[in-house]
Amino acid sequence: MWYESDSSDTSVLQRSLAANGVLMPLLAHATEADGLHLIDGFQRAQFLQSKGQQTVACQILAAATPVQQILEILLWEQRSWVLTSTIGKVKFIRFAVELGLDEQCLIQQFLPLLDFQPDRRVLKKCLAVSELPIFVLAFCEHKNYTLKRCIQLTRYPKELLMRVFSWNQELNLTASIVEELLDNLQNTMRANDSSMVDFERNSQTQLLFATDMSPA
């Protein structure tokens, strides 16, 4: 399933739906088992379902529709977000892989459309970024990270990423502080052959988090 932006303000979408209804039909792909695979419009469908609406306008692509054509339609309909967001591009690439698009087609046709070089190494980097935790991707999108900065985050252990970004919910850290924390913590743990558990149990660490660390 294709998900719209995780960090977007959904209240704007909800107000629009409440006032105007669905202006753009959902997009679904018929499956060979006579089912439907929702491709675009998850947030719209979720909101309407919460309001008790049972039906919604939907464009249904035939089961025989080539994957490449499905992705071309999706890219066109979501271009205002996908083409202006590194995370949007990365999620589009991940979705293309999940749909089974031929790798060479993805590299030669779609990477250039996303302003990436048609190179398998770029594809691998984008897929690595797409595997970051959801809240990390949301942070990257909110801070408008470049692909280079996103790739840097893939080099940290997921345990470290999860802990540092969990602190961000309380401390509202800037992107530069997050990156500095990740670097310093990783270097410290390597030097001391310690883990995140050891770091958090440290008395000085506990004292630090008992104070107000929020940036002014």
pLDDT above 60 for 206: no
Give just the sign of the alpha carbon dihedral 200, 210, 153, 110: positive
Q: pLDDT-derived band of residue 7, with 50, 70 and 90 as boundaries?
A: very low
pLDDT of amino acid 216: 47
C-beta contacts of 189-193 below 8 A and 24+ residues apart: 189/160
Nearest Cα neighbor of 75 from 46, 48, 101 is: 101
Other C-beta atoms closer than 10 Å to the C-beta of 137 total 23
Tell me the average pLDDT across 21-49: 79
pTM above 0.85, yes or no: no
Residue 47 to residue 205: CA distance in whole angstroms: 42
Q: Where are the domains of the chain?
A: 156-216
pLDDT above 60 for 81: yes
